Every structure is written in structure tokens, then in C-alpha cells.
Amino acid sequence: MNKKERIFDAAHDILAEQGFHGLSIAMVAKQAKVATGTIYRYFSDKEDLIRQLYRHTIMTCREQIMNDVNIEETSFEQYRQLWLNIHHIFTSDPNAVICKLQYECSPLASELERDPVIMALWDPFDRFFERGRIAGLFIDLPLRVLQSLSLDSAALLLQQCRGHQLTLTDAQQETVIRASWQAILQP
């Protein structure tokens, strides 16, 4: 693993444990086992590190989310695979849910979501929901609302399960997937 990847991994772990305010360049350097000056070769400051970490995370996650998905087909089967892929990311990396919430609650959130690179990465998802809305399959709500009512449920569910020590059976998980799909369907 190269130095930049080690820095990203260390920052990801610290972010999950300490939050944005607890994350420092010195802590990241120590955990990544690099000199503090090395971090400044890649990042201008802490905010730049956070911006690039978020972009890096989204790029990595997008590939995993798209695994076995034909995003051009707006169907329950494709939606189910998207949901399962998102769920897998959050179960395989317990810090992912925490980091997602940290990003969304940070002062950088609106800036990060308007980043042209990040917007381009999410464009296939926007098209998925837009096609469903135009076809009359989905209710006529803004795309972010449709995403919040549906795919965002994977992350929120895992947060609730972890916080309340719940474990869903496969059948219960399938019920959740179908319910989140039905939440956005045109009545």
C-alpha cells in the first residue's frame, strides 16, 4: 500500500473514532507511520485532506455499489442489488456509517456534495431515479428525497441495528428492501 493510501486509511479510522474536530494531521501521520511533512506533500491542510478523503471514499464505494448492477435498467432487481451493495459496504467496514454521518454533518457537507467530481460519480444514481420518476414508476419528488426514502435506508438501518444491538434475518432484510422500494413507488 502506498503512502497516500495509508494516510487515507489512517484518516478514515481517526475520523470514525474522533470525528472531524478530533482529527489532526499529527494523529494521521502517526497512525499512517509517515512523517507529518509527508502528509503536506499530498494535502495542503486538514480540510484538503478531508475533501480528498471524501472524494477517494466516494470513488471507491461507487465501484462497490455498482457491482452486478445495470444502472440503465430501472427495476426492483437493480434497486435490490444497489441496496444490498450499499449494505455490504457498511457491514464490511463498520467505520463507513460513522464517516458517512460525519461528512453529512460537517461544515464541508454542502461544498463536498456540489463538487463536480462527486456529482459526476453520483450521476448514474440520479439518472436511475429520474428515469423512474419520468416513467411514472416513482412518485414525483426531488431526486434527493427519493434517495433518502430508499437507498439511504441501508446506512440508517445499520446504524440503528448497531446502536440497539439488533440483527435482522435474511427474510427481514428482504422485507426492508421491498418496503424501501415501495416507499418511492407511485401509488
For the segment 58-69, what is each residue's pLDDT rounded down to a tens digit?
888 888 889 999
pLDDT of residue 146: 95
> Does residue 133 register a pLDDT over 90?
yes
| Residue 161 pLDDT level (bands cut at 50, 70, 90) | confident
pLDDT mean over 111-131 = 86
Examine residue 98 and state whether it is found in any structural domain, yes or no. Answer: yes
Is the domain of 127 the same as that of 73? yes
pLDDT of residue 129: 95
Nearest to 25 by CA among 14, 36, 38, 34: 36
Is the domain of 68 the same as that of 32? no
Mean pLDDT (the chain, rounded): 89
| Residue 158 pLDDT level (bands cut at 50, 70, 90) | confident
Domain limits for position 69: 54-182
Is the domain of 58 the same as that of 144? yes
> Does residue 52 register a pLDDT over 90?
no
Examine residue 187 and state whether it is found in any structural domain, yes or no. Answer: no
> Measured between alpha carbons, how far is 141 from 23 in angstroms, rounded to an integer?
37
Nearest to 92 by CA among 126, 128, 62, 64: 64
Is the domain of 172 the same as that of 153? yes
pLDDT of residue 145: 94
Q: Which residues pair with 60 in a beta bridge?
A: none
Is the domain of 162 the same as that of 85? yes
